[in-house]
Amino acid sequence: MERALKRGSTGAADRLKNSNFAQAWLILVLALIFGAALAAVQVNLSGIIAANKLNETLERVPELVFGAAAAAGMTSQNASVDITPGTVTVRKDIKTSYYNLFRVTHEGKLAGWVVKAGGQGYADKIEIIIGLDPGADTITGLFVLQQKETPGLGNKITFPRWRNQFIRKKTSPPLVVTKGKSQASNAIDAVTGATISSRSVTGIVNRAIGDVKGRLTPATIRFYERQP
Amino acid sequence: MTDLPTPSERFIQGILPENPVYRQLLGLCPTLAVTNGLKPALTMAVAVGVVLLSANIIISLIRNLLKPHLRIVVFTLTIATFVTIVDRLLAAYMYQMSKTLGPYIPLIIVNCIIICRCEVCASRQNVLAASADAVGQAIGFGLALTGIAVIREILGTGMIAGVQLMPTAWPSWVIMVLPPGAFLTFGLLLALVNWIDSTRSKNEGSGG
Amino acid sequence: MDYIFDIFVISISAALINNFVLYYFVGICPFIGVSRRVDMALGMGSAVTFVMTIAVFLSWTITTLILMPGAPVSRWVAGYFMSAEKAAGIDLTILTYIVYIFSIASSVQFVEMYVRKFYPPLYKSFGVFLPLITTNCAILFACLTVMSNIIGVENPIEAWNLGRSLALGLFGGAGFTIAIVIMSGIREELDLCDIPAPFKGAAITLIVGGILAMAFMGFNGVDSGLKAALAGTP
């Protein structure tokens, strides 16, 4: 195309350049080509991207409810674990909050719940998922999905050593953050030098459990079908 | 027409002599933002390289049809399309990295490097020269990013891409992976490059 | 009342705590290149704030009305071509970046015409920098932040409305202005110092910028404290 334009008539190229009509057509043609490319990308990739987003949480669910070792064992046995997503709406005064959660059943029986919660951390928003036993009396796991806390200090909340403190804690009375080991059954030892991050996570856990606890019934949960 | 650089000259120029980051001071936003780890830095360099190459090729193919007024519109449209495609590909196949890089991938659209190369090279030369230019500039960009990322990550966390390099007793200079560390590292490296350059031209001047 | 507090926290956060230049690294090019005199820096900052607010307004409106999955206008138009339920799922987010950059370019055009008509000497002193605001990362970044608070959120009730978005645009620009004015003041002083040759120009500006970023790190945690104080929890 370039050779033809150069060799043939530079007049033609110049005319194309200077004609507004031709320029408008050029932009239109480009827009159509790019639009088609984008549509192809959208059609092919949007499913994969949505699946990525969901799997990020789904992958964690078994180990949050059953514990890491048991979950690994289940995967190797291909045990039938059913995970159903749903939402709970909580209306307090004028504020309405939504909680996304998952009901986990193993071989037909209710095995536990996983609740997604978030809140303000020290630096930015923190998003966590909490594993609960069927009656929502005990915490079975905690995982931090998203955080932007200070590297080396606040982001130690993602370390298993700190998160595992939450396992086997009762959901009431609410958890309290302490500096240094405490004997109380509802104490969480703060990360050294990151008290605020630790308090934020514990606050999110308390709030989420407090909101969701009485509402884990078929009447209050809106389940939806998970896309395969 | 005769004084435009050849494809191989464009390629070599892009790596060091006309390095987009250190010499032209373009594309500084991703340079500072994603260099707190080696993997994000490399991913960003590859992403910019892909967009730069695609945009250069397309613009070079239609360069004879572009009226001066509308060329910015066409550049922007092309670059934005390719950035969208790259962004979606990353989200589909490298989801965690896409989340780490966050808004900095779409910011490639306003990355001065790409618009500048389209303007200076692709709209004036053939596809071969434009491609060579794109690849050269991309390699230069990658080298710059990698240099800063290596320093920041080793000093800041003692690790490189997850591999522990420093002894565990090393007190990580956390400031290096935070925003101030980016400014300081880049500023010092830029001074170093300037110094090397001035020493070299002094030697050439006195020797030759 | 909740809403006012939210706006307040967003504003302080965008201006000081998560300053666009010193924390998110957007708008670095003018930060390093333009700032040399305080009055020029102030003019540049105001222009960027103005454009940012208009651009954020445009992006929020277009995203909520046209681009969002299931957006009203697109749904209405698509309803003519396909069944109602397929139209409800229409998702034009793939066009986001293209639409945003063109709306930013239009905002800059608009501001340029406005400044040329009403402040001719200011327009002359800006020179080529006014059209260059189109490639300012900060403005696209503000639009993208607004987008991520509309499209990515799982609960539609937490999607940002226009007020919050405008607060981000206005105060993000204010934060940019603060950073660039402080930097220009420092550079005015630096011009009188004896700086080693390799550091002259961009290098010393970056190092000073690093120290400035460290200073602004002191604001870290203020927004979580503010939120806790405003919500009444310890």
| Residues A23 and A83 grouped into a single domain | no
C234 pLDDT exceeds 50?
no
| Residues A128 and A29 grouped into a single domain | no
| Residues A33 and A114 grouped into a single domain | no
Residue B43: which pLDDT band, with cuts at 50, 70 and 90?
very high
Residue A8: which pLDDT band, with cuts at 50, 70 and 90?
very low
pLDDT at res. A15:
62
A56 part of a folded domain: no
Query: What residues contact A129, with CB distance under 8 A and at least 6 apart?
Result: A57, A60, A61, A64, A114, A115, A116, A117, A142, A143, A145
Flag whether residue C176 sits within 8 Å of chain B, measured between CB atoms.
no
Six-digit token string for C25: 């690294």
Q: How does the average pLDDT of chain A come out, rounded? A: 80
- Which residues of C fall within a CB distance of 8 Å from A200? 224
B97 part of a folded domain: yes
A199 part of a folded domain: yes
For residues B14 and B133, is the Cβ–Cβ distance under 8 A? yes
pLDDT tens column, A160-205:
888 888 888 888 888 888 887 777 888 888 888 888 888 889 988 9
Neighbours of A212 (CB within 10 A): 23
A193 part of a folded domain: yes
Q: What angle do CA B70, B74, B79 make, to 5 degrees?
A: 150
| Residues A167 and A206 grouped into a single domain | yes
- Which residues of A fall within a CB distance of 8 Å from B70? 23, 26-27
Six-digit token string for A139: 């915490």
| Residues A117 and A38 grouped into a single domain | no
- Tell me if A151 and B67 make a contact (CB, 8 A cut-off): no
pTM score, whole prediction: 0.87
Buried b (16+ CB within 10 A) or exposed e, B155-175: bbbbbbeeeeeeeeeeebbeb
pLDDT tens column, B126-174:
888 889 989 999 999 999 999 999 999 888 877 777 677 777 777 778 8
| Residues A69 and A164 grouped into a single domain | yes
- Tell me if C221 and A203 make a contact (CB, 8 A cut-off): no
pLDDT at res. B69:
76
Instruction: Name the DSSP class of B6.
Output: P
Cα–Cα distance measured from residue C204 to residue C209, given in angstroms and rounded to the nearest whole number: 8
- Tell me if B77 and A34 make a contact (CB, 8 A cut-off): yes
- Name the residue range of residue B121's domain: 7-203
- Among the listed residues A117, A113, A138, the one whose alpha carbon sits nearest the alpha carbon of residue A126: A117
| Residues A114 and A219 grouped into a single domain | yes
| Residues A15 and A65 grouped into a single domain | no
B38 part of a folded domain: yes
Structural domains in chain B (count): 1
Cα–Cα distance measured from residue B71 to residue C130, given in angstroms and rounded to the nearest whole number: 18
Six-digit token string for B42: 């490399």
| Residues A109 and A73 grouped into a single domain | yes
Q: Tell me the mean pLDDT in the region C13-17.
A: 87
Q: Tell me the mean pLDDT in the region C4-31.
A: 86
- Name the residue range of residue A25's domain: 2-47
B39 part of a folded domain: yes
B134 part of a folded domain: yes
pLDDT tens column, C80-104:
887 777 777 778 888 999 999 999 9
pLDDT tens column, C104-158:
999 898 888 888 898 888 788 777 778 888 888 899 999 999 998 888 776 666 6
A106 part of a folded domain: yes
Q: How does the average pLDDT of chain C come out, rounded? A: 85
| Residues A188 and A118 grouped into a single domain | yes
pLDDT at res. B17:
81
Percentage above 70 pLDDT, chain A: 86
Q: Give the best-scoring range by mean pLDDT among A53-67, A99-113, B48-62, C76-90.
A: B48-62
pLDDT at res. B3:
63
pLDDT at res. C176:
93
B2 part of a folded domain: no
In chain B, whose CA is at the least distance from the CA of C214? B180
B1 part of a folded domain: no
- Which residues of C fall within a CB distance of 8 Å from A207? none
For residues A153 and A100, is the Cβ–Cβ distance under 8 A? no
| Residues A31 and A66 grouped into a single domain | no
Q: How does the average pLDDT of chain B come out, rounded? A: 86
B208 part of a folded domain: no
pLDDT tens column, A31-41:
899 999 999 99
| Residues A106 and A129 grouped into a single domain | yes
Cα–Cα distance measured from residue A125 to residue A120, given in angstroms and rounded to the nearest whole number: 5
In chain A, whose CA is at the least distance from the CA of C96? A38
Structural domains in chain A (count): 2
A188 part of a folded domain: yes
Query: Which of A80-84, A158-162, A212-216 shows the lowest per-residue confidence on average (mean pLDDT)?
Result: A80-84
pLDDT at res. C170:
94
Q: Tell me the mean pLDDT in the region B14-39.
A: 85
- Tell me if A153 and B174 make a contact (CB, 8 A cut-off): yes
Higher-pLDDT residue of B206 and C122 is C122
Cα–Cα distance measured from residue C27 to residue C8, given in angstroms and rounded to the nearest whole number: 23
Min CA distance, B151 vs chain A (Å)? Answer: 16
A131 part of a folded domain: yes
pLDDT at res. A5:
46
pLDDT at res. C232:
63
A54 part of a folded domain: no
pLDDT at res. B5:
78
Percentage above 90 pLDDT, chain B: 36
A135 part of a folded domain: yes
A&B contacts, CB < 8 Å: 73
